[in-house]
Structure 1
Amino acid sequence: MNLHIRKMTEKDPIVISNAFEEQGWHKSVELYHKYVKEQGCGERISLVAELEGEFAGYVNVIWSSYYDYFRECNIPEVCDFNVLKKYQRRGIGSKLMDKAEEIIREKSRVAGIGVGLFSDYGNAQILYIKRGYIPDGKGIHNGERYVKHGDSIIVNDDIVLYLKKQLMN
């Protein structure tokens, strides 16, 4: 398997957006231009995986998480992690995560990640647990606050359980 992982460049946004559009997922070109810009400012690292020269997936590391607990504890977050459906179950996601954790390890001994709670996130849930991520103990978060007992919520992509992992040398 000829897999290459590198930082996202200005050439990637259209390729990535088109690749996800082909599988029925709308991900705007502007989103990826934002990632490239933020990477240039040192706010994030955006990694791209190419298999046999073709775009296969990507992952981001953000140094100052949008999630309050991670931000307050200076826990870098792995986020917006996607592998095209046609390339899943080939170890590409694991290789992207390896590289993201390697980058985080340069600045922190802890990595954070959030995962959705419904079945679309099943593979990610399994991957993160197998990699040693455990819940942060704060409960379910809806993007604005923690969900409390008795709350009525709509289960969507904003309903997340945050996990963290101790990184070893």
Structure 2
Amino acid sequence: MKLSTITIRFMQENDPAKVSEAFLAQGWNKPAEQYVRYVEEQKLGRHVTLVAEAEGDFAGYVNIIWEPDYPLFKEQGIPEIQDFNVLIRYRRQGIGTLLMDRAEELIRQRSAQAGIRVGLFSDYGPAQAMYVKRGYIPDGRGIYQNGEYMKYGQQVVVDDDLILALVKTWA
């Protein structure tokens, strides 16, 4: 399917239900309350949620968190790209690239760096490859999970919370 019209815009108050329904249709439970919270946080200036529409239909979104809790990003004032999702049927059509381009453009207006965290198992493989191609490199602090950096010999559960943080610096 070749898309002719892709729009990137800020999340609006009428988006939460349709975003939640779109994910539910592909078998993912993402409650509307999550997106209502995103709209509220955006109003307060704490973050921005960008929404992608393909031919007028919801296709994906990404958040920019201006003051993240991840230790290195917090210490160095690095905004974080977070919760990046494109509906399965819209993947590999440039929508994720457009969302990332716009997110980086907004971050660049306020910071010389952008941060992102990514999961470590195969579900995150495409995202890992995309971030590396876009110039993100590991922050050098290692693997992080549930508020702590993992140590040699430590056993962990491999889940969505086991992550590697990456940073992109603009010259």
Indicate whether 1:19 and 2:22 are aligned. Answer: yes
Give me the whole-angstrom Cα distance separating, in 1, the residues matched to 2:79 and 2:123.
24
Q: Which residue of 2 aligns with 1:59?
A: 62
Q: Which residue of 1 aligns with 2:120?
A: 117
Cα offset, 1:17, TM superposition = 0.5
Q: For 1:47-67, what per-residue CA distance to the aligned partner results, in whole angstroms no more than 9, with x for missing partners? A: 000000000000000001120
Q: Which structure 1 segments of 5+ residues have no match?
A: none
Give me the whole-angstrom Cα distance separating, in 2, the residues matched to 1:15 and 1:143.
31
What TM-score results when the alignment is normalised by the length of structure 2? 0.97
Q: Choose which of 30, 41, 44 in structure 2 pairs with 1:41.
A: 44
Q: Which residue of 2 aligns with 1:143?
A: 146
Write the letter of the residue equivalent to 2:108: R
Q: Choose which of 31, 34, 37 in structure 2 pairs with 1:28.
A: 31
Q: For 1:57-94, what per-residue CA distance to the aligned partner results, in whole angstroms no more than 9, with x for missing partners? A: 00000001120110110000000000000000001000
Q: For 1:91-114, what per-residue CA distance to the aligned partner results, in whole angstroms no more than 9, with x for missing partners? A: 100000000000000100100000
Q: Which residue of 2 aligns with 1:152?
A: 155
Calculate the aligned-residue CA RMSD, in Å: 0.6
Q: Which structure 2 segments of 5+ residues have no match?
A: none
Cα offset, 1:118, TM superposition = 0.3
Give me the whole-angstrom Cα distance separating, in 2, the residues matched to 1:34 and 1:67.
20
Cα offset, 1:143, TM superposition = 2.8
Give me the whole-angstrom Cα distance separating, in 2, the residues matched to 1:28 and 1:147.
31
Cα offset, 1:167, TM superposition = 2.3
Indicate whether 1:162 and 2:161 are aligned. Answer: no
Are the aligned partners of 1:101 and 1:167 in contact in 2 as well (CA < 8 Å)?
no
Q: Which residue of 2 aligns with 1:97?
A: 100
Percent same amino acid among aligned pairs? 55
Are the aligned partners of 1:7 and 1:46 in contact in 2 as well (CA < 8 Å)?
yes
Give me the whole-angstrom Cα distance separating, in 2, the residues matched to 1:87 and 1:74.
33
Q: For 1:34-59, what per-residue CA distance to the aligned partner results, in whole angstroms no more than 9, with x for missing partners? A: 00000000000000000000000000
Q: Choose which of 77, 84, 87 in structure 2 pairs with 1:84.
A: 87
Q: Which residue of 2 aligns with 1:74?
A: 77
Q: Choose which of 4, 8, 32 in structure 2 pairs with 1:5.
A: 8
Runs of 4+, deviation exceeding 3 Å: none
What TM-score results when the alignment is normalised by the length of structure 1? 0.98
